[in-house]
A = this chain, B = another copy of it.
Amino acid sequence: VRALFREQLDALRGLLVVMAASATSAIRWASDALMEGDPAAAQRVLVTAAELDRERQQVEETIRDMLVRQQPVASDLRLALAGLHVAGDIERMGALAGHIAKIMLLRHPVGAIPAAVEDIMRRMGEIAEELGWKVARALEVGDQDAGEQLDRDDDEMDALHRNLFEALFGDWPFGAQAAVDVALVGRFYERYADHAVNAGRQVAYLVTGEPPTR
Chain A residues packing against B (C-beta within 8 Å): 60, 64, 67-68, 71-74, 77-78, 81, 165, 168-169, 172, 174-177, 179-180, 183-184, 187
Dominant SS at the A interface?
helix
* Contact with A77, one of B68, B74, B177 (Cβ below 8 angstroms): B68
**Residues in chain B near residue A72, CB distance under 8 A:** 68
The interface centre, meaning the residue of A73, A169, A174 with most chain B CB atoms within 10 A of its CB, is A169
CB distance from A61 to the nearest CB of B (A): 10
CB distance from A135 to the nearest CB of B (A): 20
**Residues in chain B near residue A179, CB distance under 8 A:** 176-177, 179-180
CB distance from A12 to the nearest CB of B (A): 16
Inter-chain CA distance A180–B73, complex, in Å, is 49
**Residues in chain B near residue A73, CB distance under 8 A:** 68
**Residues in chain B near residue A60, CB distance under 8 A:** 81
Q: List 27 A-B contacts (CB under 8 A).
A: A64-B74, A64-B78, A64-B81, A67-B67, A67-B77, A68-B73, A68-B74, A71-B71, A168-B177, A168-B180, A169-B176, A169-B177, A172-B175, A172-B176, A174-B176, A175-B176, A176-B176, A176-B179, A177-B179, A179-B179, A179-B180, A180-B180, A183-B183, A183-B184, A184-B184, A184-B187, A187-B187
**Residues in chain B near residue A71, CB distance under 8 A:** 71
The interface centre, meaning the residue of A176, A177, A187 with most chain B CB atoms within 10 A of its CB, is A176
Nearest chain B residue, comparing its CB with the CB of A68: B74
**Residues in chain B near residue A168, CB distance under 8 A:** 176-177, 180
Inter-chain CA distance A77–B81, complex, in Å, is 13
Inter-chain CA distance A117–B68, complex, in Å, is 51
Inter-chain CA distance A68–B21, complex, in Å, is 32
**Residues in chain B near residue A81, CB distance under 8 A:** 60, 64
CB distance from A57 to the nearest CB of B (A): 11
Inter-chain CA distance A176–B177, complex, in Å, is 8
